[in-house]
Amino acid sequence: MFFIPAQLKRLDHIQHAYKCQYCSQRNLSDKIIKAAVPKAPLNHGLGSASLIAHTLYQKYKLKVPDYRQESDWKKMGLEMYRVLLQADV
């Protein structure tokens, strides 16, 4: 049996957009095509589903206080402020 410590990994999604050069040169309506990107669990939120789930698990199942969650996230290299953890879900 092995213990693997928790890790935080940053995953950036890049959305490419392409414009039809043929339509643009001939003054036709510009056709812009964008690549699909994964939808965020919360609008305008930076947290992934796993990050949100872990925070909720600590808060509601393990009853970890916000100040301890804040210090745990800081130890892992993530600046998570208590105000964000106190939001009702």
Chunked mean pLDDT (size 10), the chain, 89 residues: 84 90 80 88 84 90 93 88 73
* pLDDT at residue 64 in the model: 93
Q: Which two tokens stand for residue 53?
A: 């789930």
Are residues 58 and 42 in contact, defined by beta-carbon separation less than 8 angstroms?
Answer: no
pLDDT digits (tens, 9 = 90+) for 29-46: 778 889 998 888 888 777
Could you tell me the pTM of the whole model? Answer: 0.69
Q: Which two tokens stand for residue 25?
A: 């040169």
* pLDDT at residue 88 in the model: 61
